[in-house]
Amino acid sequence: MSKMKTAIYPGSFDPVTLGHLDIIRRASVMFDRLIVAVMHNQNKHPMFSVQERMDFLKRTTDDMPNVVIASFGGLLADYAWQQGACAIVKGLRAVSDFEYEFQMALANRKLNPELDTVFLMTSAEHMYLSSSVVKDIAVHGGNVTGFVPDGIIQDIVRRTRKED
């Protein structure tokens, strides 16, 4: 019997965008279980708490039964080992992402030799997207429809209004 294949899609997801969701949807059909892991990161100053980011992800992936939403701190390679994952999934948007991602993939494989990184090319319409772009648009009163899942637009509007 073949072993269940688990992959991890890590990130800040502050907040989840349609670009992330596109990667989640495509990766979910490639693996038996996909853990979308929200990172606790002291270096970034998130707009949304880890709980809120997980909640947004849960709400927008509830039609994908093999997608699990979780959070992690520390090294990704250790977390992947704890979860029995064979792969990390990352989205590549442009050539500019490549050097950094290549370095991380090699470092992660050195830390956990059984762990490979699978890169999915982001769909053309999401090439320019990032969570920071979404937050910048929202903070300046712009419309984020078409950038993030419809179900979280109101949450973003509410948060950015508070910061006015």
**Binding site residues, ligand COA, CB under 6 A:** 10-12, 14, 17, 19-20, 23, 39, 75-77, 91, 93, 104, 107-108, 122, 126, 129-132
Closer of 40 and 161 to ligand COA (Cβ): 40
Q: Is 93 among the residues known to form the active site?
A: yes
Q: Does 33 qualify as catalytic in the annotation?
A: no
Contact 27, 59 (CB under 8 A): no
- Running DSSP on this structure, what letter comes out for residue 150? G
Residue 64, token pair as written in the block: 């994908």
Note whether 53 and 46 are within 8 A (CB): yes
Q: Specify the residue, 67 or 129, whose C-beta has the smaller distance to ligand COA.
A: 129
The Cα 24–Cα 17 span in angstroms is: 11
Is 44 a residue of the active site?
Answer: yes
Known active-site residue 162: no
| Residues annotated as part of the active site | 20, 44, 93, 131
